[in-house]
Chains A and B, each alone.
Chain A
Amino acid sequence: MVQLVNSHNAASHRLLLERMFEDRKAVFVDLLKWDVPHDSRFEADQFDDDHAEYLIVNEPASGEHFASLRLLRTDRPHVLSSFFPELCERGVPAGPDIREISRMCLSPRHRGPDRTAARNLLASAMTEYALLTGIRAYTGVADLGWMSRVLSAGWRCEPLGLPRRLGGVMIGALMIHVEPDTIRRLQISGRYSSGVLRAEYFDHRLAA
């Protein structure tokens, strides 16, 4: 199951959020050595505020966190606009119908098939979230070493600029378009399972 957590329901998912911030520290700080704000337990930055939303793959019975990602509004400061504007050749895409994906995290406690399943659940939830709320595209900074994998899943990707080397990796800004046939394309690659998104409250307009 994939839980949408935002300011409306954060209080009732406090433990799950803590698990997520712990796993984010394990992955981004301890494993990948990213230079991002953290304390001894959690990795969280200035964008983890009331405007952030999260898609969290979890097991409700145990409260276990399997995978998650953060969705930020692009009409407010976000990672691309604040740290990597130079990756976007034509300006950073912004608007109420574009969300930025960041901190996509697979829990390091899980292996093999669980990780694949969690990744597929996130892909499904991302698509459902976008189609249900009128989001037409996601943006994000991507490690282009993963590009083939993203494309093979069926996502329609558009580079926003030329990639650059950062440390040992090549990063670039990408836009992923979500369209009615996105579900069909994810189904072909076996990445989609329907009705996985669990949301008590959508944050904005089409939620009513």
Chain B
Amino acid sequence: MSRLDDINAFINASRGIGAADDLRSLMEAVTREMGFQTYSLFQHLKHFTWSEPRTLALSNFSQGWLTYFIDHAFYANDPAFAASHRTAVGFTFDDIPSLISLTPRQRKILDAGRKGGVAQGFVVPAHIPGEASGTCTFATASGIELPQQNFPMAQLVGSFAYEAARKLMLGGASIVKHQEREPPTTRQLECVVLVARGKTDWEIARILGLSEETVADHVNEARRRYDVSRRAELAIHALYHGDLTFSDIIQ
């Protein structure tokens, strides 16, 4: 299929969406398809609370980063949001200093995002008369290049995605979902420690006296709880959340 077919398939699917979870799966698929890792759809509100369901906010950024972002009210000063008010065309985080002059707090937000797995991003602004503006952002973690060749596709997909989210919100669908973080079990953490030490599932199974399938289940569940896609990211997130310490891994 050509990129145009992919875009039109996305548009057709997004048009029929009636529930936020359907848009979530669609966004996750198209985000990966384009070579990004995560996405966010946000309307830029002055005040954001998890308890207001009629807010345009949909994202698979790590729950840790989203919570941090909301708890620190970063949305009120977010540099990508601020830059999006100066342009109608998609831009990258690297372009932000050419659109606005960054305040110290905004530099801090960019740094915090980098640590939270949102290191680089392509931001598509959505300016609709009579409404607070919004953005659709596609991002990658530190060390992963943005798929530049797919910016034109992301520009189109971003606009259609924002409209799909907007329709859900206007239709009264509840689209904000705040998952309380579910910490991994002791068994899962034992597996994460061994993954971090470079062990395979087979080796971990031998060390812990479990079957290889059980180890794979523990690792997968830990990935789900930390909201990461790769084994290698597990230890970093476990450290970030304080579930493990360096000495657990290095000893």
Of chain A, the residue at the smallest CB distance from B5 is A89
Q: Is A132 an interface residue (CB 8 A)?
A: no
| Complex interface: chain A residues within 8 A of B162 (CB) | 148, 151
> Which of A40-48, A78-86, A165-173 makes up part of the contact surface?
A165-173
Q: Is A7 an interface residue (CB 8 A)?
A: no
Given contacts A116-B129, A162-B3, A162-B156, contact A148 B89 (CB under 8 A): no
Q: Is B152 in contact with A145, judged by CB distance below 8 angstroms?
A: no
Q: Is A149 an interface residue (CB 8 A)?
A: yes
| Complex interface: chain A residues within 8 A of B88 (CB) | 143-146, 169
Chain A, interface SS category: mixed
Q: Is B155 in contact with A148, judged by CB distance below 8 angstroms?
A: no
Q: Tell me how many residue pairs across A and B have CB atoms closer than 8 Å.
A: 67
Q: Is A148 in contact with B129, judged by CB distance below 8 angstroms?
A: no
Contact with A along B12-30 (1 / 0, CB 8 A): 0001000000000000000
Given contacts A151-B160, A170-B155, contact A144 B89 (CB under 8 A): yes
| Complex interface: chain A residues within 8 A of B128 (CB) | 148-149, 152
Q: Is A164 an interface residue (CB 8 A)?
A: yes
Of chain A, the residue at the smallest CB distance from B90 is A170
| Complex interface: chain B residues within 8 A of A144 (CB) | 88-89, 155-156, 159
Total interface residues on A, CB under 8 Å, equals: 24
Q: Is B245 an interface residue (CB 8 A)?
A: no
Q: What is the distance, in angstroms, from A29's C-beta to the closest C-beta of chain B?
A: 21
B interface bracket (residues with beta carbon within 8 Å of A): 20 to 34
Given contacts A145-B87, A145-B88, A169-B89, contact A163 B159 (CB under 8 A): no
Given contacts A145-B88, A148-B162, A161-B4, contact A172 B156 (CB under 8 A): yes
Q: Is B127 an interface residue (CB 8 A)?
A: yes
Q: Is B186 an interface residue (CB 8 A)?
A: no
Q: Is A149 in contact with B4, judged by CB distance below 8 angstroms?
A: no
| Complex interface: chain B residues within 8 A of A149 (CB) | 127-129
Q: Is B4 in contact with A147, judged by CB distance below 8 angstroms?
A: no
Q: Is A49 an interface residue (CB 8 A)?
A: no
| Most chain A Cβ neighbours within 10 Å, of B87, B90, B131, B156 | B156
Q: What is the distance, in angstroms, from B248's C-beta to the closest C-beta of chain A?
A: 47
Per the bound structure, the CA–CA distance linking A114 and B126 in Å amounts to 23
Q: Is B166 an interface residue (CB 8 A)?
A: yes
Q: What is the distance, in angstroms, from B200's C-beta to the closest C-beta of chain A?
A: 42
Known: A148-B128, A159-B156, A163-B152. 20 other contacts (CB 8 A): A90-B4, A116-B129, A144-B89, A144-B156, A144-B159, A145-B89, A147-B155, A147-B156, A148-B163, A149-B128, A151-B159, A152-B128, A152-B163, A152-B166, A159-B4, A161-B4, A162-B153, A164-B152, A170-B152, A170-B155
Enumerate the 6 nearest inter-chain pairs by beta-carbon distance, A residue then B residue, closest first: A145-B88, A148-B126, A147-B159, A151-B163, A162-B152, A152-B128
Q: What are some 12 contacts across the A-B interface (CB < 8 A)?
A: A89-B4, A90-B4, A144-B159, A147-B159, A148-B126, A151-B162, A151-B163, A156-B15, A159-B8, A159-B11, A161-B4, A169-B88
